[in-house]
Amino acid sequence: MTSPTLSDVARAAGVSYATADRVINNRGNVADKSIAKVREAVTSLGYVRNVAAANLSRGRIYRLAFLIPRGSNAFFNRIRQHIDHAAAHHVSERVTAEVIEVAAFAVEGLQDSISALLERDFDGVAIVGLQSAALEAPLAELRAKGVAVVGLVSDLPRAARAAYIGIDNIAAGRTAGRMVGLAHGGQGGQVQTFAGSLDARDHAERLTGFREVLNADFPQVTVLDPIMTKDDAQVLQAQTQEVLTQQGLTALYNVGAGNSGLIAALRGGQGTRPFCVVHELVAHSRQALMERQIDLVIDQRPDVEINRAFTVLRALIDAKDLPPMPELVPTIYVRDNLPADALTDQMKAQDT
Amino acid sequence: MTSPTLSDVARAAGVSYATADRVINNRGNVADKSIAKVREAVTSLGYVRNVAAANLSRGRIYRLAFLIPRGSNAFFNRIRQHIDHAAAHHVSERVTAEVIEVAAFAVEGLQDSISALLERDFDGVAIVGLQSAALEAPLAELRAKGVAVVGLVSDLPRAARAAYIGIDNIAAGRTAGRMVGLAHGGQGGQVQTFAGSLDARDHAERLTGFREVLNADFPQVTVLDPIMTKDDAQVLQAQTQEVLTQQGLTALYNVGAGNSGLIAALRGGQGTRPFCVVHELVAHSRQALMERQIDLVIDQRPDVEINRAFTVLRALIDAKDLPPMPELVPTIYVRDNLPADALTDQMKAQDT
DNA sequence: CTGAAAGCGCTTACAG
DNA sequence: CTGAAAGCGCTTACAG
């Protein structure tokens, strides 16, 4: 009834507990004959290692760090909340997480923050990264020290991290494109796009995906070149106001941040407004959805991302195989399938 | 550095380990003075109970059962896979899960299966339920034995279970309605609906939500009364073929199962087809999405549901507070945000 | 009302 | 190459 333990395996194999342990954990220094006997006992008994007991005996603790852009960006605030929440949830598993704020979107600042990590005793770090060769050297040093490194939300140079945890931004853009296309109901139209900066890879990729779908499947809808906003709400507000006076505009799509400005402009507008799609469910985009200033939010589920970051970092630290990692997929929100509210929304990652 | 243990608390409070344990776990039989001292030590030291160690020492095992409708329904096959997967993932936490198949949608069969559970030693069961007073007596007996009971996907009588784990089907219907409305791009149209049976509460609720949104926000779109299909693919195929010959039909929405028939009919159709929305992402709906026979799938994320069932049942068995349970929210899939594939899709609940 | 001790299933030195 | 033993942080009888 109750599952077999290592003692059962050792007894069945006719070896000592310690020897059975050695083959289970590949510690070496075991005679081939013993290995064979233990392996056999394991399969015939259906032995499964009790990870909780192993961690307890080993007294392991996992010290994690998250490098997140400083600033008042609503999305990253949400990320920070999820980290705190996940950390609280993991205390009993002996994992601690510290959020370290770094200068936003600045290669040098990030580089310095990574170097500073060398002085600290972390076991794993998740970094909201940038694509810059300048990060490679400090990251290599960090990993040489045995620290597990993953990219989060925005990737690091590929060779410099063990995994990337974030959505496929081309898919996100395609999803937005599909929705905008569908909303035209077979009629023609013009979509104004907005982006923070095309140096930001995620922005560029979303735009690419968006264009792909509209060009291929909705050729009667024209995609206008993006207005650059630096993710600044003021810029977005001014530009949106201006754009709303254009004739023939049927949709708006912002691949970046600064949506509070866009929403403010829409709130002030009169008459029918264009179909509006933005990214990331935060307080203001949520409210705008409910109050019908916008139609759709594409969300990357930061709760799921943070949860996965914890799982992946722990697996890396334990030098275990990485768990299967299906691509993270963008979630579509309309006013009818919104999660309960900001607070409970925080807790969602528990499931899923 | 390392977190305080119960020994630390006991020492700081000047009591024995056992006494400290008694107050931590509210076992009673402790002098008020001791309670106060221990409480104080706990907060000043920041003690957190190590759940893993507690479970280990207690040698607890969790025997779970899942009562799932028998038959070849693709959705429930997916549910079964997720149960097996979650069970495999939980072996190291000493939880086992057994799937018990019951006669599909038959009150008496379900009633018998629940009674049969009394002979078995389960700690918790999740049941794909029905709304029937006939289930109340056997469920009460089961719970009197100390077995934790939750409704899964389709609820049990409210008083007869500790929790319900499934989506809000009105929200699911509303979401479908929003999408169908948007896809009309401001033009008028006619939607043909399909349902298995209006006795099935989930079907009725979806239809209600669907109508709500279209009547309120897209009054130019007419919702036709549902064609009853008994979730039978053959019926769906025949009915869809017939319906496709109608003039002015702009959309199709099936609240129930049997979609392989609907898809077959669409595949055989010629010319432009209506906008099509169905429920549940399974092999054939996924393929139909990719091959453009349908436009949208509303999914209830069985992986998330099963994961939550495990969590909730364990919490109930431990007589712990139930974890926060935000409403499960329907997920919208188009061809551009599909999860990687059926297999990896199985693993998604890990995050989530 | 309080305490000492064995045991949960492992890992980690330590001694052969 | 192999084994005996202490200890991880708890819970559970058992004895006062």
CA dihedral A105, A111, A113, A115 (to 10 degrees): 170
Return the residue matching tokens 């070896």.
Answer: A15
Residues 5-44 of A with CB under 7 A from strand C: 5-7, 17-18, 21, 24-25
Winning range, highest mean pLDDT, from A6-15, A82-91, B264-273, B296-305? B296-305
Task: Check residue A28 and give its pLDDT.
Answer: 80
Closest by CA to A86, choosing from A75, A99, A73, A103, is A99
Spell out which residues of chain B touch residue A344, defining contact as CB-CB under 8 Å.
324, 326
**Option in A52, A178, A327 nearest B93 (CB):** A52
Q: Are A212 and A181 in contact (CB under 8 A)?
A: no
Strand B296-299 relative to strand B331-333: parallel, antiparallel, unpaired? antiparallel
Taking only the tens place, the pLDDT of each residue in A319-338 is 766 766 777 889 999 999 99
Determine the length of chain B: 352
Is the CB of A94 less than 8 angstroms away from the CB of B48? no
Count of residues making up chain A: 352
Q: What are phi and psi of B16, to 5 degrees?
A: -80, 165
User: CB closer than 7 A to strand D: which residues?
Assistant: A 15-19, 22, 28-34, 53, 56-57, 59; B 2, 5-7, 17-18, 21, 24-25, 47-50, 53-54, 56-58
Helix (H, G, I), strand (E, B) or coil at A215: helix
Whether the CB-CB separation of B186 and A188 falls below 8 Å is answered with: no
**Residue B114 half-sphere exposure, CB side, CA atoms within 13 Å?**
30
d(CA A99, CA A64): 9
Q: What is the pLDDT of residue B347?
A: 45
CA of residue B49 to C1' of nucleotide D9, angstroms: 9
* Nucleotide closest to residue A59 (CA–C1'): D8
With distances taken from each CA to the C1' atom of nucleotide C12, the closest residue turns out to be A58
SS3 of residue B60 by DSSP: coil
Please give the DSSP secondary-structure letter assigned to residue A49.
-
Cβ-based contacts of B92 with chain A (< 8 Å): 48-52
pLDDT value for A173: 98
Distances (CA, A) of A186 to A221, B189, B271, B272: 9, 13, 14, 11
Contacts of B71 (CB under 8 A, 6+ apart): B104
Beta bridge partners of A297: A278, A333
Using the beta-carbon criterion (under 8 Å), do B337 and A174 form an inter-chain contact? yes
Which residues of chain A make contact with B52, given a CB cutoff of 8 A? 52, 55-56, 92-93
Residue A291: CB atoms within 10 Å? 12
* Maximum mean pLDDT: which of A56-65, A84-93, A124-133: A124-133
Which comes out higher in pLDDT, residue A59 or A7? Answer: A7
Which residues share a beta bridge with A66?
A: A99, A126
Query: What is the Cα B279 distance to its own chain's centre?
Result: 14
Are residues A152 and A305 in contact, defined by beta-carbon separation less than 8 angstroms? Answer: yes
For A122, A126, A147, B51, B158, the CA distances from A314, given in Å and listed in that order, are 12, 11, 11, 18, 40
Give the mean pLDDT of chain A: 89
Residue of A nearest to B217 (CA): A292
| Lookup: tokens for B79 | 């549910």
Chain B hits for A24, Cβ within 8 Å: none
Q: Residue B293 carries which side chain, given as an amino acid letter? A: Q
Strands of the sheet containing B95-102, edge to edge, are B95-102, B62-69, B124-127, B148-152, B163-165
- Residue of least CA–C1' distance to C5: B18
Which of the residues in chain B have pLDDT under 70?
1-2, 91-93, 320-321, 323-324, 341-352
Confidence of residue A136 (pLDDT cuts 50, 70, 90): very high
Kindly list the residues from chain B whose CB atom is less than 8 angstroms away from the CB atom of residue A186: 185
Residue numbers in B near A2 (CB within 8 A) = 59, 61
In whole angstroms, what is the distance from residue A239 CA to residue A257 CA?
14
Neighbours of B78 (CB within 10 A): 21
Residue-level pLDDT at A114? 95
Measured between CA atoms, the residue of chain B closest to residue A300 is B337
Residue closest to A236 by CA, chosen among A273, A272, A266: A266
Residue A56: how many CA atoms within 13 Å on its side-chain side?
16
- Which of B337, B338, B345, B346 is best to mutate for the A interface (most A CBs within 10 A)? B337
pLDDT at B324: 66
With a cut of 90, say whether residue A197 has pLDDT above it: no
Residue with tokens 């650059």: A228
d(CA A8, CA A14): 10
**What is the DSSP code (8-state) at residue B191?**
E
- In degrees and rounded to multiples of 5, residue B164 shows phi and psi of -120, 130
* Euclidean distance between CA atoms B188 and A126, whole angstroms: 50
State how far the alpha carbon of B160 is from the alpha carbons of A40, B62, B129, B310, in Å: 47, 21, 11, 19
- CB–CB of A57/A25 below 8 Å? no
pLDDT number for residue B152:
95
CA distance A22 to chain B (A): 19
CA-nearest residue of chain A to B328?
Answer: A339
Q: Is the pLDDT of residue A252 over 60?
A: yes
- pLDDT score at B2: 67
How confident is the model over B46-100, as pLDDT tens digits? Answer: 888 887 788 788 877 889 999 999 877 889 999 999 998 888 777 666 788 999 9
Residue of B185, B330, B350 lying closest to A184 (CB–CB): B185
What is the pLDDT at residue B104?
Answer: 76
Residue A198 near residue A305 (C-beta atoms within 8 A): no
DSSP annotation of A328: B
> Would you say A8 and A45 are in contact if contact means Cβ atoms under 8 Å apart?
yes
Q: What is the pLDDT of residue B159?
A: 93
The helix-helix angle for A259-268 and A283-290 (nearest 10°) equals: 30
Instruction: Please tell me which of the candidates A329, A330, A351 has its beta carbon nearest to residue B307.
Output: A351
User: Do A135 and A113 contact (CB within 8 A), yes or no?
Assistant: no
Q: What is the mean pLDDT of residues A281-309?
A: 94
Q: Do B56 and A51 touch (CB under 8 A)?
A: no
Distance D15 C1' – B8 CA (angstroms):
24
Give B261 to chain A, closest Cα distance, Å.
24
Please count the helices (runs of H) and the strands (runs of E) in chain A. Answer: 14, 12
Q: Which residue is nearest to nucleotide D5 (CA to C1')?
A: A18
A45 touches strand C (CB under 7 A): no
